[in-house]
Amino acid sequence: MIPGKGTRVTDEVAGVNVLDQIAPKGQGADDWHSDHMFLPEPPMGTTLRAVQLPSYGGDTCFASMYAAYDSLSSTMQSFLDGLTATNSAALANGARAPVNAHGWAVVALDGRPALGRSHPLTVEGDDVGAFELNFACGEQGRDYIVTYVEQRRSNEAGRVPAALSEVEISLAGKPTQLKVVASRPRDKSTDLVSIASGRISAEALKAFADTGNRSLMVETASDDAVTAIRIGNAGIGRILPTLVASCAGAPQPTIRNSARFSRQQGG
């Protein structure tokens, strides 16, 4: 959960973070969440203390991710066992990593360097939102993790845009299909937030950064519209060595089933 307006945060006791919420509605506590699990060093546990109780409602529910995993079919468990996930608060309460709108820049993703660029999202010349494209460390010397984050506004009638079904990027003439991991309205608004991710080879990113390759193509598809946006490589050749050096010194992720090692809390 992210502290919001009406939340008092104290840390008077070393290693203990207290969130005193005066008006918690709409601040994340009334949605499923895991307290501060996005931190580099997550807390070992969470306790709740109700000082003022409503006359009705206000129930807190807990869900076990161990039980959720155990209830899956063996096929789905095998599929999940080979996956990893990034637990991030990047989209919470509209918080964003700083991304350059005029060229590629070194940005911070979950406290680690990445290369990022933002760009307007257009459909047949109409500005309908914006998206960010980020490249972060993958398997050292072999590939990079690419993340596409899009915010698409509702149409003139106020209807929520259709969820994305496809996202593809093409670097140096080589298309890479990204997996759409989320595409849903933000909270109670009619804006659609979509996230897709995948991997590209280190050679492909290096080729894009070369002066002879001026742009990459980002294409999306939904039941509502198809977009095709061309993004230039301005600045990326200068800063790519920073990412390469950072990835060379970064610890390699261990592939395991994260559902076995975490517990989900809601309230």
pLDDT at 253: 45
Q: How many CA atoms lie within 13 A of 84 on its CB side?
A: 11
Give the per-residue pLDDT at 20. Answer: 63
Of 167, 217, 228, 153, nearest to 195 by C-alpha is 167
Domains of the chain by start residue, with CATH: 7-83+257-266 (no CATH), 92-248 (2.60.40.10)
Dihedral angle computed from the Cα positions of residues 257, 261, 264 and 265, in that order, rounded to the nearest 10 degrees: -170
Q: What is the CA radius of gyration of the chain?
A: 21
Q: Which of 75, 77, 54, 59 is nearest to 67 (CA)?
A: 77
pLDDT in tens, the chain (267 residues): 444 444 444 445 556 666 666 665 655 566 677 776 766 677 777 777 777 777 877 677 888 888 998 998 888 888 788 776 666 555 444 444 455 556 888 887 766 778 999 999 988 888 899 999 999 998 888 999 999 999 999 877 778 999 999 999 998 778 999 999 999 987 777 889 999 999 999 999 999 988 776 789 999 999 989 999 999 888 898 889 988 988 887 554 443 443 333 333 343
Query: How many residues comprise the chain?
Result: 267
Name the residue type at position 263.
R
2 with 92: CB under 8 angstroms? Answer: yes
Determine the Cα angle at 74 with ends 71 and 76, to 5°.
80
